[in-house]
Amino acid sequence: MEQIPRKFLILKLIVEEFIKTAHPVGSNTLIEQYQLDYSSATVRNEMFSLEEEGYIEKPHTSAGRVPSIKGYRYYIEHLRSDDRAKSIKSKIKNFIEDHATTMHTDQIIDECCQIISDMTNLVSVVMGPDGSQEKIAKVELIRLNSSTAIVIFVTDSGYVEHKTINIPSGSKIEELEDCVKIINKRIIGITLNDTDVALKSIQLVLSEHIKNYQAVYNAFAHAFLKFASERISYYGKNNLLSQKDFADIQKMKKVAKILENTNIWKSFDNEYEGINVSIGNENHVTDLEDISIVSTKLKLSNSNSGTIAVIGPTRMDYSQVMDALEFLSNSIDELVNKKEK
């Protein structure tokens, strides 16, 4: 491995120490924590040089230094550590191997995103393709227990998604299965934009076959509405609120508001291959100056792709997140190729 110039070695250590502790970093901390074979004066001089060049900056209330956006960018492109996501990758690998033949791809993606959120303490977001003009190809129902079931939607492009519904009180699973049969007869070939009208048109048919038809209809109508309108799924929403960076109540409120604004995340749908990182004010979106977003394309079928993103404070562990997302994207790509052979 090429030796890192001393100045940038110190930048790397400042970034990684700040990521780990959330505390501004001073020269003595670097020397003591990393057993540097440099004098305090040498480290201070290099830190002064880094500050002059805009790689680190001084917070108002501390003698230490923190990375700037420019410093994080240089770290990501030149200094980040390899293989920081070993445990995450191992857990994802094991989960996919255990469930590749028993779960739909979208369910596997859900669980893997939850794994990433749980193990990074950040938020994962999956953005599916715009499906407004896709047509319903098939609807399936899987009973989970006496009170809940999963409705699985398949579109003509091969996109698959599932929504959980509550089995209405007093209804039998057989009634829901009858409802699915009627839906499959009447709604196949209808675009997602038109499903609301199409569903309303079958209420009379349902009333002739199902005793508790209104409750059953409402359950399915709600699931269809969510499928047609929600192509964004969040995992670990509360994780950001527990970050030290957002301990201030006003920042916490701002973060909560940002997470509710789905239009912001739609703008981060990936147009490019590979891992993309937007740091703080690089996002060019109001209120995202304290947040970084790491994203990549995710293959959902041979004809459809979406985007997966991890959202966190600007001092997120970029090496870990980028490594985990790259591994997940490649693993799902392999899984889709095997399933669709």
Q: Note the pLDDT of residue 1.
A: 42
Block means of pLDDT (10 residues each) for the chain, 341 residues, are: 85 96 94 91 96 95 91 96 91 96 84 96 84 79 87 79 81 84 86 79 80 77 69 84 81 77 65 84 79 88 80 95 96 87 66
Mark whether 45 and 185 lie in a shared domain.
Answer: no
Q: Note the pLDDT of residue 293.
A: 92
Tell me the residue range of the domain where 68 lies: 6-79
Mark whether 254 and 333 lie in a shared domain.
Answer: yes
> Does residue 1 lie in a domain region?
no
Domain end: 180, 198, 229, which one? 229
User: How far is Cα 213 from Cα 209, in angstroms, rounded to an integer?
Assistant: 8
Q: Note the pLDDT of residue 217.
A: 78
User: How far is Cα 134 from Cα 281, in angstroms, rounded to an integer?
Assistant: 35
For residue 65, what are the CA distances in angstroms to 36, 78, 249, 334? 18, 20, 24, 43
Beta strands per DSSP E along 136-256: 136-143, 148-155, 160-166, 232-235
Domain end: 79, 103, 122, which one? 79
Number of structural domains the chain divides into? 3
Mark whether 263 and 320 lie in a shared domain.
Answer: yes
Q: Note the pLDDT of residue 303.
A: 66
* pTM of this structure: 0.76
Indicate which CATH number applies to the domain containing 222: 3.30.390.10
pLDDT in tens, 137-174: 888 888 888 888 888 888 887 777 778 888 888 788 88
Beta strands per DSSP E along the chain: 56-57, 66-67, 123-127, 136-143, 148-155, 160-166, 232-235, 276-279, 291-301, 304-313
Q: Note the pLDDT of residue 240.
A: 81
> Does residue 43 lie in a domain region?
yes
Q: Note the pLDDT of residue 95.
A: 97
DSSP 8-state symbol, 75? I
For residue 261, what are the CA distances in angstroms to 57, 129, 255, 287? 31, 18, 10, 11
Please name the residues in contact with 101: beta carbons below 8 A apart, sequence gap of 6 or more: none
Mark whether 259 and 172 lie in a shared domain.
Answer: no
> Does residue 98 lie in a domain region?
yes
* Residue 113 contacts residue 308 (beta carbons within 8 Å): yes
Mark whether 191 and 305 lie in a shared domain.
Answer: no
Mark whether 221 and 236 lie in a shared domain.
Answer: no
Mark whether 149 and 37 lie in a shared domain.
Answer: no
